[in-house]
Amino acid sequence: MSLLEGHADFVMDGVGPAVVPSVDEIREKFQQRRAKGASRLDMALRKLLGLDAKLRQYRDGERFVRAVVDEAGMDGFNRVWTSPNTLPTKAEIAKPADWITRVHRKPEA
């Protein structure tokens, strides 16, 4: 899920006001919703219900997508969709360079 959540955030950030005039407002609302209610009780409930893990998935996934696009370009990132074997592992989500090395390494002759 981290990959899908992160990719959605990345794409939303890439859409400019020329395409979606209210994109900045939409992004702000998402951020507010994710950060809303930072009281101790709310944080405890989030942890208990697993919502803190969900928010981490958004952040980790977006970091992965940005790091791969920065290093390998959009075409390089899009290899993620070509096969189940090219999907990143949880460890690779945390270390995008490992995914790039695995998926983009040249086959040995």
The per-residue pLDDT string of the chain (109 residues; one tens digit each, 9 = 90 and over) reads: 788 888 887 887 787 777 778 877 877 877 776 666 567 766 676 667 766 677 788 889 999 999 999 999 999 999 999 999 999 999 999 999 999 999 998 766 5
Domains in the chain, number: 1
Domain that holds residue 44: 2-104
Predicted model pTM: 0.71
DSSP string over the chain:
-HHHHHHHHHHHHHS-TTT-TTHHHHHHHHHHHHH---SHHHHHHHHHHTHHHHHHHHHHHHHHHHHHHHHHHHHHHGGGGS-GGGSPPHHHHH-HHHHHHHHHPPPP-
Examine residue 60 and state whether it is found in any structural domain, yes or no.
Answer: yes
**109 in a structural domain:** no
Residue 62 lies in a domain: yes
**Average pLDDT score, the chain:** 83
pLDDT at 22: 82
